[in-house]
Amino acid sequence: MTSPISPAFIATDTDLIKGMEGVLAIFIGDEGSMDATAKRVNRLSRGSVARLIEGEGFAKLDAGKAMKLAYPVNLEAEAVIVVKLPKRPSVSEARAAGSTIAKMAGGKALNVLCGNLRRAEEVALGLALRSYAFNDHFTKEEDAPGAVSFMVNKPEEMTAAYADQAAIADGVFFTRDLTNEPANVLTTTEFAKRLVELEALGLKVKVMEEKELAKLGMGSLLCVGQGSDSPSKVVVMEWMGDKKGEKPFAFVGKGVVFDTGGISLKPAGGMEDMTMDMGGAGVVAGVMKTLASRKAKANVVGLVGLVENMPSGNAVRPGDVVTSMKGDTIEVINTDAEGRLVLADVLWYAQETYEPVGMINLATLTGAIIIGLGHENAGVFSNSDDLANSFLKAANKEEEGAWRMPMGKKYDEQLKSRVADMKNVGGRPAGSITAAQFLQRFVKPETPWCHLDIAGVASVKSETEFAPKGATGWGVRALNRLIADNYEG
């Protein structure tokens, strides 16, 4: 498992700079202004910093971007990263600066000279997030990343300020690790085991096995995994950090550890990417880890349905009719539209058990959302303007792309079945919307609810600002922010 960097915050002492090895990072403020640490580096490097920032290239840089002095004279450091950042940077600019430093440092020992820089803890978070690498399955031993220190004027205050940021990084890394794992490693059993280990942080974790799920009537969820040798499970994580008895907020995640499509088999090309089809459950797990790590003063439950969708002699077939926990019957038209079958039962269980004050489900649910929104935004569907707006505000603050999509009764006509209460698909037109309409049938009218279709953002084939290729951890920051801003006591 990957752990985020743990930066050391040390007191500003310009006399130490000359002997620092590895890579240094300094910050240049408005109109080329330097603080004491940058001035010290400039003097030691015989004016190299001043000459660099006077050049046309540095002037054209956006805030949070940088240039590198590869051969700084009169310094033990092998390079100096010169970062352009206003004296009063926004959160976005500070995190971008951290990401830039991480990429340019390349894992070498790093000393970030912040002095009295505002939002240094956000720089540290950006650096931590972009330092992620998933290398668990390489046989060649990788060089351990170098130590990271931040030289700041008030180290005790900065250490305290970074504590919540460290919890966010922990949650994001947990989500990325889960999403990146191959399916032969992250089986339903192994996934559940890793969630049970979160009890060390104070979460209460319950694993429900197939026998209990059948007793509850979860025929919709169970039909998805009946063709696999891996047992289907539902895992419930409780964090009760607010007043006892207060109703919680609920997160629900789709956890299909591998999706072949079942009898409605997917094409071979690209099927290897379906290890990420548990991305919704991965985000729920990461959010719950973050909330527990920072001891959030809120009551929150995270529920994930863990299944594997495989073709076999026992697999659910197109045309089969199954009965959900709610009691509604579903004609399975396409076994590759399995995520909604999993979520239907877990959503109903969450409401019956906890009567949540609000509920958000996450799922890599449809390819249609990628056609509509690409890899920049998750699709947001909701029965509540208040909850949708609160989430979109949180996502905007954290710069995690999200866009609200329409819903409406007219779309329900596409789900009509000849032999059951509904079909599990509504055809190609508005495919992501009809999926949301299906899920809404398992949401009680009094429950504020959002469905987040994260198929386009959970795992991507090119690096993003805060992540390398692969799993992004999208959603952990936004959902943590949603709870912090709206549900903490």
Q: Which residues pair with 470 in a beta bridge?
A: 460
Kindly list the strands in the beta sheet with 422-423, ordered across the sheet, starting from the edge strand earlier in the chain. 321-323, 329-331, 422-423
Q: Verify whether residue 88 is a known catalytic residue.
A: no
3-class SS of residue 190? helix
* Annotated catalytic residue within 266, 295, 393, 444: 266
How far is the C-alpha of 437 from the C-alpha of 108, rounded, in Å?
Answer: 50
Tokens of residue 158, six digits? 């900065």
How far is the C-alpha of 50 from the C-alpha of 38, rounded, in Å?
Answer: 10
- Give the burial class of 45: count Cβ atoms within 10 A of its Cβ; 0-12 exposed, 13-18 middle, 19 or more buried: buried
Q: Verify whether residue 266 is a known catalytic residue.
A: yes
Residue of 453, 401, 447 lying closest to 430 (CA atoms): 453
Task: Please answer whether residues 380 and 295 qualify as being in contact, where contact means their C-beta atoms are separated by less than 8 angstroms.
Answer: no
| Those residues with Cβ within 8 angstroms of residue 351's Cβ, 6 or more apart along the chain or in another chain | 250, 359, 443, 444, 447
Residue of 228, 360, 250, 364 lying closest to 307 (CA atoms): 228
How far is the C-alpha of 277 from the C-alpha of 270, rounded, in Å?
Answer: 13
DSSP 196-225: HGGGGGT-EEEEE-HHHHHHHT-HHHHHHH
How far is the C-alpha of 167 from the C-alpha of 125, rounded, in Å?
Answer: 10
| Those residues with Cβ within 8 angstroms of residue 231's Cβ, 6 or more apart along the chain or in another chain | 188, 189, 209, 210, 225
Please report, to the nearest 10 degrees, the dihedral formed by the alpha carbons of residues 366, 369, 370, 371 taken in order. Answer: 110
3-class SS of residue 469? coil
Other CB atoms within 10 Å distance of the CB of residue 19: 9
* Annotated catalytic residue within 84, 340, 441, 477: 340
Residue of 160, 166, 164 lying closest to 6 (CA atoms): 166
How far is the C-alpha of 28 from the C-alpha of 49, rounded, in Å?
Answer: 9
3-class SS of residue 431? helix
Task: Please answer whether residues 372 and 406 qualify as being in contact, where contact means their C-beta atoms are separated by less than 8 angstroms.
Answer: no
- Give the burial class of 202: count Cβ atoms within 10 A of its Cβ; 0-12 exposed, 13-18 middle, 19 or more buried: middle
Locus of tokens 């998805």 = 224
Task: Give the active site residues.
Answer: 266, 340
